[in-house]
Amino acid sequence: MATISFTFASPSKPLNPSIAPKNPTIFNLLPTPSNPQLKRAFYLKSPSISPIFIRALKPQQCRTSSTPITSLFTGIVEEMGQIKQLGYDKPDSFTMKIQAKLILEDINLGDSISVNGTCLTVADFDTQKLEFSVGLAPETLRKTSLIELEQGSLVNLERALRPTTRMGGHFVQGHVDGTGEIVELKTEGDSLWVKVKTAKEILRYIVPKGFIAVDGTSLTVVDVVDEEGCFNFMLVAYTQQNVVIPLKKVGQKVNLEVDILGKYVERLLSSGFVDSIKSS
């Protein structure tokens, strides 16, 4: 970075080199080297300029997203898509191609889409074939139930939240905390009771009448049974027809994301934040 210098002249007289002070005041924003040779180089050497500022950028070869990437959802499933293809198209690249309709209406490359509650990035799409592709990282395959999907499987889809969207569910990030196993499916009238077993590390954040995202669907927890490591919820008739959970069988996995507010509360309590406020 070059040294910045300012020369001051009387405001009543025009700035003229012949009347400028011999020793102008220098405001150096960087430390000045004490060595005379280094000092000379410090002032005289032209700063290097990154090529990005002097070379014309090459035109984009692909479409890019015109909207900022967001990662917030409501848990209100917009439609069910169908898996058309999935697997390793390259040795280290697991890709999933999904057929959908509503999601394709305003899709852009780089958009965030919730697939069974997992926030994934649109890598390719074809509005004529009504399909889009997403890539799955190894960690995603390890932590979610997406690895169990097959060609023809149905998945819950939701686009990222916009500022003008109604907040019909709750804050869902699409960051799956882990999976649960369906241990019971029981009907009552036209409603369906679903009982899910999960790890203690997840169950501790689940509370009766609290929010839970199951395969990306915002649901209300009915009961929590700590002794069994389970919780349950009920699906009304409409929800059963518009999400994938009723299509699953006992023993199959579901993606779980707990309410983020519970994590923040735990973090604040464990960090001593509340105690520091009380003592202040």
First to last CA, the chain: 44
Catalytic residue among 73, 125, 132, 233: 73
Catalytic residue among 74, 94, 112, 179: 112
Catalytic residue among 8, 220, 237, 271: 220
Catalytic residue among 2, 137, 199, 237: 137
Q: State yes or no: is 170 an active-site residue.
A: no
Catalytic residue among 119, 160, 213, 230: 119
Q: Residue 176 burial (CB < 10 Å; 0-12/13-18/19+)? A: buried
Q: State yes or no: is 273 an active-site residue.
A: no
Q: State yes or no: is 220 an active-site residue.
A: yes
Confirm if 132 and 100 have CB atoms less than 8 A apart: yes
Give the integer Cα–Cα distance in Å for 123 and 110: 6
Give the integer Cα–Cα distance in Å for 40 and 237: 81
Catalytic residue among 70, 71, 95, 121: 121
| DSSP run (H or E) holding 192 | strand 191-197
Q: State yes or no: is 140 an active-site residue.
A: no
Q: State yes or no: is 70 an active-site residue.
A: no
Give the integer Cα–Cα distance in Å for 159 and 250: 29
Q: State yes or no: is 171 an active-site residue.
A: no
Q: State yes or no: is 137 an active-site residue.
A: yes
Catalytic residue among 3, 8, 67, 175: 175
Residue with tokens 């009771």: 193
- Compute φ and ψ for 260, nearest 5 degrees: -60, -25
- Write out the catalytic residue numbers: 73, 112, 119, 121, 137, 175, 220
